[in-house]
Every structure is written in C-alpha cells, then in structure tokens.
Structure 1
Amino acid sequence: MNSDRRGGGGRVLALFVVVVLGITGFLGYRGELPRWPFGDHYTTAGLIGPSLPPLDPALVSRVAEPALVNITAGIRPYGMGAAGSGIVLSAQGEVLTSHHVIKGADTVTVSDVGTGAVYTATVAGYDSMADIALLDLQGADGLPVARIGSSAPLHVGDDVLAIGNAGGTGSPTAVRGPITNLDSAIVARNAADLTRKSLRGMIEVAAAVAAGQSGGALVDRYGSVIGVVTAASGDAQKTLGKGPNGYAVPIDTAMGVVRQIRSGTPTDTVHIGPTATLGILTSDAQPAAQSAVPAGARIDVAIYGLPAYEAGLADGEIITALDDRPITGSQMLKAALNAHRPDDVVRLELSDPGGARRTVSVTLTVGPPN
C-alpha cells in the first residue's frame, strides 16, 4: 500500500463528506431489460419544466436494477473487505464502479442483480483521482446492460434516483431526490483506510445515499444512467443543519475514463490492470535549506511482507527516482507507478537522511495503492 465542475448559479460547494465505501469489517464481510417507457428520442434536455413527466421510483427501479451488480472486495493481509455496487456496460461483463470500492483488493466477487449469477472479477483499470474503475467478469455472457445517458443536459432541480446495494444486503435500494448542484467540490474520506481525496465536478443530490451504494447508478426518469454514486455527506452536514446529500461522478466523466482504460494506454491518472504496489506509506520529503536531504517521497513505513520491506527499503529513506524518472514527492511516485503492473521490476534511487545514496531493484506485487 502506498498512500500518501458546472453548478447552480456558478456555485462551487466545498464540503467535507464521507466516501460511501460500503460495508467494511475486520476479517471480511458478513433476461433482457424491460421495454423503455418512453421512446429513445425523448431526453431530459428536450423536456423542460412542466412538460416533464414525474419520476416514478418503482418503474425506474424496475428498468435500472437488472443492469446493476453487487460487489464484494477482499484485501490481504489486512483481513478487510468492502461491499459496493456496479453498473453493467456490456453483456460480456464489463462493469463500471467506484475505485474506492475495489481499492487494493486481492479478490473481487460480483453478483449480477439481473441474473443472480456470481462471478470472479479482475480489475481492467482505474482512475483513482476521478474515483472510477472498470472490472471484467470472468466467464460472463448475456448480462442485462445499463442504458447509458449523458450528464451534459442535466439541470439543477431535475429529479433523479440513486440505486445501489445499500447496507451490503445484496438487494438494490433506491433513494429519490432533486439535483442541487452540478459542480460540487468535496473532500471525501475513505471509511476503510481513512485517506482523503478531493473530488470536483460532482453531481449533488438531496437524497439519503447509504453505505453500499457506492459504484451504483444515478439515473434519470427514463432509467438512463447519468452518474456513478460515490459519496454521501457526513456529520458536518448535520452540524450545519442541512439534510443528507449524495454525490455522483457525472457519467460523461466516467465514460471518458472507461474509454481510456479500453485503449490500454496508461496516463498519469489512469492505471491499466490491477494495482501494482511497493507496499509503503510515504510523505513528501521537504529538506531544509543547505540540507543534504533531497526532495522526494519519504518512506514512513515499509509494510512487513510486501515488496519494499522484502527488498530492504528502510523507514526514513527517500525515493528520488524510479526508472530514471525524478521523484520529488508522493504524488509523483504514484503517477510513476501508474504505468506499471504487478510483477514489473522497478529501479529505485534512494537517499538516506544523511545524504548517502543507493539504487535498489524491487518487484511489484498486487495490493493496495501506493
């Protein structure tokens, strides 16, 4: 483990929220789509104000739920697990979900809501900054597929439905509410490892999104997916006297990540395949003036049994380069590792607190992100 956008009235909301990771716990966890009620030529963009039909939660749920999945992720060596949701993109088992649901998972098991079949999943890729991941289900075929809409025509006040595996029960739960912002900026806290992440351009909905719905679908009145549920407001909202809110990544943003993953080309934010880990906790090295200590990613902890520890990397050493790519901080180390996969061998240049330098080769493994 290596750890370290348009809105109502131009409003950018900065909130502290809890990422809806699902259900976490020590030592693990306890046919065709229906016919659409409206023609394909109808869209929310073409029906404004009073001409919009009311959202029927029961009908929309029946349309959307068969194309959802329940996800259970296991993480070694910590004995932790997570339960979340996903959206089926192809009959052969491409599943869209939130990255934090499967973050660092060694095993991912998926149960299809529409068919009841259970599959082992592999991680095709992810963008941790956007909190989006793509899974491939082994041996899947003929799955009900979600109808993917667009987040571009959305308006503040549009009625939407958030659907997912609330509480990790395995049965989809839907919560309804209006869109209250189209460009929320939030600081999300991962309930499992307590890491924080800034997310921007989020769709905010006045609805009580619950644990387990992360990775689920935010859908419009026609059952089209217009967002990927990722977070829910925490205690800060109660303190401010506000009602519960849910947050979703716009589907246009999510599908941009999916297309990049499908291309097979990694970027500084998009990783292809399962997570490749060094097995360290890092912080930015900030040398004082005239210090012999260079800038880089300081190793705070090399976790027992993982690659860095096995290669003899010591707490306090500073990573200054990876395969000749200069590393000046933790985020740069993460970006460099994005281009690698498990079993890759990387060459690290290291400096100890006294300024002595050495080079070490380390074989990456599957595990929690760096």
Structure 2
Amino acid sequence: MQIPSRLRLLSLKAAAAAGLAVAIASLPQSGSARGPESVADISEGLQETVVNISTTQTVKGIQEQDPQATPSPKDSPFEEFFDDFFDSPEGDGMPRRVSSLGSGFVYDSSGLIVTNNHVIEGADEIVVNFTDGRKLKVTEVLGHDPKTDLALLKVEPDHPLKAVTFGNSAKMRVGDWVMAIGNPFGLGGTLTLGIISATKRDINAGPYDDFIQTDAAINRGNSGGPLFNMDGEVIGVNTAIISPTGGSIGIGFAVPSNTALTIIDQLKQYGETRRGWLGVHVQRVTEEIAESLGMEETHGALVAKVMPGSPAEAAGIQSGDVILDFDGQEVDTMRSLPRLVAATTIGKAVTISLLRKREPMKLEVTVGRLPESEEVEDVSEAPAEERIEPERERVLGLAIAPLTAQLRDEYGIDNAVDGVIILEVEPGSQAEEKDVKVGDVIVEVTQETVNSPQEVLSRIDAVKKSGRKSVLLLISDGKGELSFVALPLS
C-alpha cells in the first residue's frame, strides 16, 4: 500500500517529537535499482521437504498440575527459550487432550522425518502434514536424544518422499546467508532469510551446546525445521530462540548439521545415542588458575576428578591435569572437551596432550561408551560424640583444622575424603566469593596433598616466596566432589 507523502511527514514529525532518532535512506535515482538478489531459484522445491508436526497428548487438568508448570514438555532443555503452542485446558481438574505444533523435514525418501525432541516428547499421537495436503501418522519413533533435542520419526508413504541434502556446517562462517524454512500451524510453509551471527554458541541448554546463531526469523511453530545454506543444503536444525514475547527478535539457534547427522545416524542404527566417554570431571581454567599453574593463556580443561574404572584412569590421567588437545583437536575451553569426546568412535585409541605440574606430556586413551547413568552412594551418619573443639589455623580468609573422626562425622564427610577441613569462611573474602564453604576439605595445595594445617601453611609460604600472585587449592565437598579454587595471596 502506497503511503501519502503528507502522512509520511507527519509520522516522522511524531517520531521526532517522541525523541526518536530518524534516519532517511537516500532514494534511488532511477527506476532500475533492485533489491537484494532473489533466493527463489534456491528455495524452489525445498519447501516440499519441510513438514508440519502435529501432536496430541492427554494431560491432567490444570487444577492438578504444578502451578509453576509451563505448556512445554517436561524437562525440555529448551523450555525457557522455546515453547510451542498448546490448546489451553479447562480448569476443572479433568484430563484434557492438548495439541502441539512444530516443524520437521524429510531425512530419507523412505519416510524418515527429523524434528526436535521437545516437539514430540510425551505425545500419544504424532501426525506429519505435508505441503501437498497429505497427512501421515507416525508409525514409530525410531529414537530421540534430549541432550541435543533431536528426534527421528518413521512414516509409511505410498511413494518416495523428497528428502533434503545435508551440507558441511563446519564451513559456515559468521556473515554467511542462510534460509530458515518451517511449516508452522499447517500454513503450507514459511521462509525467512538472514545471516549467521555466531557459531559455536553455548546457551547452557545441555552439555553439548555448539549452536549456530542466526538472525533469520525462527518463530513459534518453526522448531525442528531446517536451516539451509545458499546451495540449498541443510546446515542446521532450528531448535531454540531467545525472546521475551515468543516471537523472533533476531536471536535464533540451530543444531549444526555435522552434529545432527552423527546423532540421526545413531538413532537410525541403534534407536539410541552411543557417545564416547573419557570419565573425568572438568572445570574451567580461570585467569587465577592459569597463573597458579604457570599457564600464559586461559585455555584447556582442568581435570577435577577421575572416575574409578574409567578410560581416563586406565590411561593415567590425574586430578590437576589440564587437557589441552584431544585427538589432534584443540581444547580451547572446558566445554569443548565433552563435545569432542562424545563425538569420538567408541573403542578408538586417541592421543591426549596435557599439562601436569607445569610439564607438557602426552597420553594415549581408549575411548569408552558413556554410561546411561552413574551410581551415587549414600553417606551414612555416625552417632554424635562429645564435642572437642579442634585447634584452628587462619589463612586466606579461612579457619582450617585437622580432619578428625569427630569432624568427619559432624560434617558428614565420606571416609574416602582426606585433607584439612575448613571450619570458617571469612565474610566478604575471596574464598567466600568463590563459593568455598564450611565443611569443605582442602585436599591439595599447588597439586601437593596436605593432611595438616601446617602443611597447608608451608605450601602457601612456598608459593609466596616464588613470587606467584595466587595459590591453587583442590577442594572436596563431603561426598568427594572435587573442584579447583585459585585464591589470591595479597
């Protein structure tokens, strides 16, 4: 619709009166000027590979639900970022049928469909709607993976479907053009265009976050649809958005195709994911930790704990090691390591480069399979005895004492934990800011075990004389969970 020039002028005056900055683009000098190059030739035929996913499930009436519950599937890792539409149940406490809508795409012409796990999780019935009007009921959920929010479905078409072609997500760069195609609400397909605004994005949705970030609009109902490059290849699976309103604000996320293909292939073959496993608990290398270890850069993954019976233990990896390289790939951050290990073939022997007590070394480890769950042992409490106040030493905002049997019982410290117990944490101290707590146990100081307050003081004095600005402590909680803490000496 053409807007009269007088109305345009009034609107600009109104904007100026409201204190808004108004910029007027220069007008083209001739009628031959064109907009951005069309993507019609690229997108033609792609929309028929994208489908609408419609699900229904029976839920309890609203009066019987948790008042904090949201319409998204329970425990969905993307709950706070992306909720699909649900029909609101009546508030009479009776079970209701609710519906959810999302998108997906044809992975294999025989009838394999990819979508998000949160789109189909908990569904009693799943129907795939195609752009030509066909509706096919899902005969089997071949597998799903909550950690990457992917699911693989099977339908029985009467003739081969048109499937997508996958591209290499590792080749995509910030600034590359992409298309997001979805089929929300059975409208028959939507297409939005934008660029990649970031790669390797971590949104704290799961342990393997490695998202492509795009400003191509991904609105409600588009979850599970494909993100295409300008060759018409899928380089991502649209999964989540950040939005205060539920609509696109230009921050959307897609699972990279290289990650998705690995997961989809495993779901197709095994009906489950089979991830590699090293068996270490790691933490971030902060500036203070790097300085205390003599490292010039804050990179790598600091090993806080090695799991008994794990591949890491068999290879000789130790608590305090900093893993810098895994199978020829740099471990630039702590979160890089779980992704690299998980993507490694089970049973493969790989070389790990690490730093141990300031000395570089290499180890070979055979990657195992990630267990489905880990056993957690309960800590039983012994009966209380007459309290004897222990002698305390004070250092770095802490009051420390020998770990006696009485203190072990009082603070519920596992028998496998040895060291020096912390009985006070000075308010406002660096130790308090770094979440050191009363009842924690100092296991090591500068990667040397300590069993008395005097040993702690001696190690700290040695660090001061060396000229370093901070000291590295290995601290255990009562159950044996370990973490490194670097405290300044000033």
State the TM-score, normalized to the length of structure 2: 0.40
SS in 2 for 1:200: coil
SS in 2 for 1:209: coil
Q: Deviations over 1:46-95 (max 9, x none)?
A: xxxxxxxx763333332311111111011224422211111102222111
* RMSD between superposed Cα atoms in Å: 3.0
Q: Deviations over 1:170-200 (max 9, x none)?
A: 3211111110111111145xxxxxxxx5661
SS in 1 for 2:45: helix
Please report how far the alpha carbon of residue 154 of structure 1 lies from its aligned counterpart in structure 2 after TM superposition. Answer: 0.8
Larger-gyration structure (1/2):
2
| Identity value in percent | 31
Aligned match for 1:159, one of 166, 177, 195? 177
Q: Deviations over 1:123-175 (max 9, x none)?
A: 11111101111000124432111122121211111010111024x24321111
Structure 2 residues not aligned, in runs of 5+: 1-35, 61-96, 277-374, 384-490
Please report how far the alpha carbon of residue 97 of structure 1 lies from its aligned counterpart in structure 2 after TM superposition. Answer: 0.9
Structure 2 residue 61 is the aligned partner of structure 1 residue 61: no
Equivalent positions of 1:152-231 (< 5 A) are 152-166=170-184, 168-187=185-204, 200-231=209-240
Amino acid paired to 2:52: N
Change (3 A) 1:83 1:243: closer
1-side partners of 2:245 and 2:116: how far apart?
Answer: 23
Change (3 A) 1:126 1:178: same
SS in 2 for 1:82: strand
Structure 2 residue 233 is the aligned partner of structure 1 residue 233: no
1-side partners of 2:244 and 2:100: how far apart?
Answer: 21
Equivalent positions of 1:111-150 (< 5 A) are 111-113=129-131, 115-121=132-138, 122-150=140-168
1-side partners of 2:174 and 2:244: how far apart?
Answer: 24
Change (3 A) 1:110 1:250: same
Equivalent positions of 1:305-324 (< 5 A) are none
SS in 1 for 2:171: coil
The answer as to whether partners of 1:237 and 1:244 remain within 8 angstroms in 2 is no
Aligned match for 1:250, one of 239, 251, 256? 256
The answer as to whether partners of 1:55 and 1:160 remain within 8 angstroms in 2 is no
1-side partners of 2:39 and 2:382: how far apart?
Answer: 63
Please report how far the alpha carbon of residue 244 of structure 1 lies from its aligned counterpart in structure 2 after TM superposition. Answer: 2.0
1-side partners of 2:37 and 2:172: how far apart?
Answer: 15
Partner of 2:272: 266
SS in 2 for 1:144: coil
Please report how far the alpha carbon of residue 286 of structure 1 lies from its aligned counterpart in structure 2 after TM superposition. Answer: 10
Equivalent positions of 1:316-335 (< 5 A) are none
Change (3 A) 1:101 1:257: same
Deviates most, 76-85 or 245-254: 76-85
Aligned match for 2:52, one of 70, 85, 106? 70
Equivalent positions of 1:325-364 (< 5 A) are none
SS in 2 for 1:60: helix
SS in 1 for 2:170: coil
Change (3 A) 1:220 1:236: same
Please report how far the alpha carbon of residue 249 of structure 1 lies from its aligned counterpart in structure 2 after TM superposition. Answer: 0.4
2-side partners of 1:266 and 1:100: how far apart?
Answer: 16
Change (3 A) 1:77 1:181: same
1-side partners of 2:146 and 2:46: how far apart?
Answer: 26
Structure 1 residues not aligned, in runs of 5+: 1-53, 189-196, 271-283, 293-370
Choose between structure 1 and 2: higher strand proportion.
1
Partner of 2:387: none
1-side partners of 2:275 and 2:141: how far apart?
Answer: 15
The answer as to whether partners of 1:93 and 1:140 remain within 8 angstroms in 2 is no
Q: Deviations over 1:227-257 (max 9, x none)?
A: 100011122999xxx9521110011111111
Change (3 A) 1:267 1:70: closer
State the TM-score, normalized to the length of structure 1: 0.52
Partner of 2:381: 290
